[in-house]
Amino acid sequence: MTTISEKIREGYQTRFKRFGGRAQSLSWANMGAAHQRFRQMWTDVDYSNKSVLDVGCGFGYLGKFLTKKFENVTYTGVDIVPEFIEKAKLRRPNLTFFVRDYLFDPMPEKFDIVVASGILNGDVPHNMDYRKKAIKTMFDHANEALVFNMLGSHPQPVQPAQKNVWYADSLEVLTYCMSLSSKVIFKAHYNSKDFTIIIFKSKEKAS
Ligand SMILES: C[S@@+](CC[C@H](N)C(=O)[O-])C[C@H]1O[C@@H](n2cnc3c(N)ncnc32)[C@H](O)[C@@H]1O
């Protein structure tokens, strides 16, 4: 495992010791903050009859909603924090979870839809490169679409006092996504400092 992932994992493990199975362990202020993002992820995408990979699944909250809202979803969740995966398995024994540093060591197989909520918010070395590489890795493993969210907006906000969080320039992220596919949905209406992007596989190359 790389140093970046180790740092991320240790940060979440410290939070888990303090907050246990609550949303705060996942760096969400409360469950409402997580839901606000999830709602953007399940509008505009039909997950019925799809295989779905949730990268950085935490306790598998999104898996719970997607499998309730849509028919016949084959959900798999991966996370680098073993404590989160243990809780996820206990809470949702009918879903598949395992521990993996997906961004640095993805499984070879592809899934119809790859989703990632809140995993690209941390302040890491080379923030924008880290995010672009993660987006590329996840999109390469999707048959149909990648759905993710991130903290930031355009123009890029002043960075927060919290040292572990970094705000991206959403326009730079969007431009990068549009270099991967011409079929992109961008949503920035639900929160002044968070955005959601859905990238669909496109047969035509973006030019
Ligand atoms: C803000 S939490 C969100 C958890 C979950 N997606 C949710 O919305 O409830 C971000 C999660 O991403 C995980 N994560 C970060 N980097 C990862 C990586 N390289 N591979 C797998 N999981 C990762 C963290 O361990 C953490 O559980």
Query: Which pLDDT score is estimated for 89?
Result: 98
Q: Which domains does the chain have, with CATH numbers?
A: 3-200 (3.40.50.150)
DSSP 153: E
Q: What is the pTM for the complete model shown?
A: 0.96
Neighbours of 128 (CB within 10 A): 14
Query: Which residues form the pocket of ligand 1, taking CB atoms under 6 Å from any ligand atom?
Result: 5, 8, 12, 26-27, 34, 55-58, 61-62, 78-81, 84, 101-103, 117-119
For strands 74-79 and 194-200, give the pairing: unpaired
Ligand 1 mutation target, pool 16, 102, 119, 149, most atoms within 8 A of CB: 119
Pocket mutation for ligand 1, best pick of 80, 102, 130, 166 (most atoms within 8 Å of C-beta): 80
**Pick from 92, 100, 99: which is nearest to 75 by CA?**
92
pLDDT tens for 182-193 read 999 999 999 999
Which atom of ligand 1 is found nearest the CA of 38?
A: 8
Q: Distance, CA 181 to ligand 1 centroid (Å)?
A: 25
Chain segment 16-51, per-residue pLDDT in tens: 999 999 999 999 999 999 999 999 999 999 999 999
81-140 per-position pLDDT tens digit: 999 999 999 999 999 999 999 999 999 999 999 999 999 999 999 999 999 999 999 999
**Residue 107 pLDDT:** 97
What is the whole-number distance in angstroms between the Cα of residue 154 and the centre of ligand 1? 24
